[in-house]
Chain A
């Protein structure tokens, strides 16, 4: 029996994000909210472990109230319970503040052997929450997992680094962050999603996890967002004219300016 906590984040479908030409702001209206891909991998892995070893899976998400949809999908895939951490006071959280809330939630749940999360989220690509959470909960961390095997309290993880693959061993409880190669997540049908509303979902606020204002949101963050600037919009559709040599020159110069070509 292995009780697992899976971290799930609802993100905007980043491929659909665009800059509005007039307001020069990122348009989020009409952009679908989806479960971050690697979190689906995390859920799938948890479900496979449960199918093999038994146990309970609790999916946790921290976000606005809409994140409940992400948890429904998690339940439909096979999680047993869901917890939504939502509170206006969470807004403005950096990775540390997010991890603090998650750590408090995880501590409140108490009964877990394994935390599985995605190595990074599809909107931020920060790679931080997993290791910070592991540090806060004093758990060993296994990152970039492509395979997880459990034998009693022993855990064996295959990891994917740039130039090598590792097989490491450790003991439960621990935190594992997964990458997309680990599995193909199952797709819940609409029926499964509708049926999942029967599974228990708790909604916790800052009070439920006993954190004070100074530990949350903007105040509780260790790094601060000074400013953000809009970087690009739609495809530029620039046709580089001229004879071959001229066009090529214009292209290389443009690509250098874009920062995608070295030189």
Chain B
């Protein structure tokens, strides 16, 4: 028996000129590939430029953490598993092929040695065989999903059929070729390539060694398919292999919860030039990075599957929105024709609640909300709005609150309570920001009164702004009126500075988010704490003691702007747990998967084209838990669920209650002395 180390036979069974011919052919495909990539990137750059590679380290880390780790992909177990199979399978095969290339074309030339020898080679062969199977399994599941199961929002296109077929055929022919080689060569280590080995046995049994005659043809066929697949990358959805990491690399580094800032009002006021284009109305108005992101979409449908607007059958489906933008970009590259109207319907843009479920889900880090708000900004700039939106903005500018209720009534909720304004009591520990809903909406005035009870019980020295409080116009920013938002921010920051505010307490997650994540850009430097965090800390530290409540079954609705946006989940639950014999029953979609109440993105203030109502869908989910309390931590969620409760009109619906109300009810009266 010949004693040779296990090794790989290069171009086994192939004529001598094979490498030369192969590389020549490959270069042709390489040109096609490079040209395709170039064409696509050029298409992105036709947009507004803005190259940002600051904080490169964090950016690269983000690519690894989000894309290479497949962290987001596996959030959905079944399709995540499927993609993981394909991903890992091809990753290993790619490494395997690269090793071959390095081995033969570099290592042997420079080091006169081979890597793929001995035990390493045996493990190598076994791994490749194993992962080839893994890849095939993944592809089969993928084909099954798109053509047989057909889950919602998972379209099947020619692209998909082409890709799946070509990859499957490549893999299968690969095994056949391996089988042929092993059948002809019959090396002692053949069994390590356990799949190919079995194929070789089968071939030998059926056809015999002459099967080797077809090998070169099969080899060229396999090579051709492989090169075609590579060349096809920039022309098919396979391009996500390149766009996903690039999108993750160049994605904006703003904190979650901060919308993009199209201009700085302070600079404009200083220069006196307000002639700034705001908002996107054509595909060319989007930045190159946004255009790159549109092209990254693999139409996996996850965004639309979690979108509340889609669930309510509004015109909005985030995936379709992005795909429409991508298609416009592909077909009208230098286009100046208006998107809104012909391609994107206004109602799609208004239906978004900015709940961020889509962005949170997207495995390739597309930011749908950015695109939507950008287009809203254009619509606002045109000024042709329906009456409810006009009323909202007029109310903000003339009455400093979105309800249009009198400014002088802002402190009416506190009648009869010991509440001091900052003017009366400038030396306060905490500024209690009541917010517009807490000030004007009777349902939420009850929460404000509960907060006062809690603050007094915990002996916190607090002040409110009273009639000096004005809406922070977070809703204006979300609807697209950036100017009004910034003007309000600058005014409020000045007001906070006047009173030397260090900490702001708020019961509204929208106010919380905007103060925390959006105000620093305009010079704010105070802390902001949400009332659930505040109350939880009071209870934990013993500053607030509660009587024991009665037995309750409670389900908690995670507000989008508190939970998904700011990762505050546990405080509310810890509060609920300290209320006595409370059983917390989670809704199916909870914590970061929480389903929006439907009020966000200014939707509370106008009517949306919809077949179902988001708040009713969510309220049903709450009812399904058969809890007797639906606990909330946001005035708008409370309002929306009270509305849903009226619509449902059933006596078995849970009572809607803000966490603060539940706590205030159980404060031991002795705390007040």
Contacts and interface: CB of A to CB of B under 8 A. Distances in A.
A–B touching in complex (CB under 8 Å): yes
Interface of A: 13, 15-16, 18, 27, 29-34, 77, 184-192, 194-195
Interface string B249-292: 00000000000000000001100001110100000000000000
Interface string B371-409: 000000000111111110110011001110000111110
A191 B275 CA distance: 8
Contacts of A192: 274, 381, 383
B96 interface: no
Contacts of B394: 34, 187
A30 B486 CA distance: 22
A190 B407 contact: no
A188 B405 CA distance: 21
Contacts of A15: 404, 406
5 contacts: A31-B407, A32-B399, A190-B481, A191-B483, A195-B275
Contacts of B389: 187
Given A27-B408, A185-B390, A189-B481, A194 B398 contact: no
A27 B481 CA distance: 31
A189 B390 contact: no
Contact of B406 (A30, A190, A191): A30
Contact of B390 (A31, A32, A187, A195): A187
A66 to B, nearest CB: 13
Contacts of A184: 384-387, 390
Contacts of B276: 191
A77 B394 CA distance: 14
B487 A190 contact: yes
B483 A194 contact: yes
B274 A32 contact: no
Given A30-B406, A191-B482, 14 more contacts: A16-B408, A32-B398, A184-B385, A186-B382, A187-B385, A187-B389, A187-B394, A189-B278, A190-B483, A191-B278, A191-B483, A194-B274, A194-B483, A195-B275
Contacts of B406: 15-16, 18, 30-31
Nearest to A190: B483
B275 to A, nearest CB: 6
Given A32-B399, A191-B278, A186 B408 contact: no
A195 B269 CA distance: 10
A186 B398 contact: no
Contact of B268 (A30, A187, A194): A194
Nearest to A76: B383
Nearest to B400: A32
B407 A191 contact: no
Contacts of A16: 399, 405-408
Contacts of A190: 397, 481, 483-484, 486-487
B87 to A, nearest CB: 46
A78 B380 CA distance: 15
Nearest to B480: A189
B411 to A, nearest CB: 12
Given A187-B390, A189-B383, A195 B274 contact: yes
A45 to B, nearest CB: 14
B467 A30 contact: yes
B379 to A, nearest CB: 11
Contacts of B484: 189-190
Contact of A186 (B268, B384, B399, B483): B384
Interface in B467-524: 467, 481-484, 486-487
A146 B380 CA distance: 25
B407 A32 contact: yes
Contacts of B408: 16, 18, 27, 29-31
A192 B558 CA distance: 38
A191 B274 contact: yes
A95 to B, nearest CB: 26
Contacts of B487: 190
Interface of B: 268-269, 274-276, 278, 380-387, 389-390, 393-394, 397-399, 404-408, 467, 481-484, 486-487
A191 B384 CA distance: 15
A189 B381 contact: yes
A194 B274 CA distance: 7
A49 B383 CA distance: 17
A210 B547 CA distance: 78
Contacts of A13: 398-399
A193 to B, nearest CB: 8
Contacts of A33: 398
Nearest to B276: A191
A119 to B, nearest CB: 19
Contacts of A185: 390
A13 B397 CA distance: 12
A27 B409 CA distance: 12
Contacts of B384: 184, 186
Given A16-B399, A16-B406, A195-B274, A186 B481 contact: no
Nearest to B263: A191
Nearest to B386: A184
Nearest to B467: A30
Nearest to B485: A190
A190 B491 CA distance: 14
A189 B483 contact: yes
A191 B484 CA distance: 8
What 9 pairs between A and B have smallest CB-CB spacing? A190-B483, A186-B383, A195-B274, A32-B398, A16-B406, A191-B483, A30-B408, A190-B484, A194-B274
A87 B408 CA distance: 29
Nearest to A184: B387
A50 to B, nearest CB: 15
A188 B397 CA distance: 11
A9 to B, nearest CB: 15
Contacts of A34: 394, 398
A258 B408 CA distance: 26
A209 B124 CA distance: 97
A194 B384 CA distance: 19
B122 to A, nearest CB: 69
A178 B323 CA distance: 45
A30 B483 CA distance: 23
Nearest to A30: B408
A237 to B, nearest CB: 13
A77 B381 CA distance: 11
A188 B385 CA distance: 10
Contacts of A188: 383
A76 to B, nearest CB: 9
A194 B380 contact: no
A194 B269 CA distance: 8
A36 to B, nearest CB: 12
Contacts of B387: 184
Contacts of B390: 184-185, 187
Contacts of B482: 191
A13 B399 CA distance: 9
B268 to A, nearest CB: 7
Nearest to A188: B383
Nearest to B393: A187
Contacts of B481: 189-190
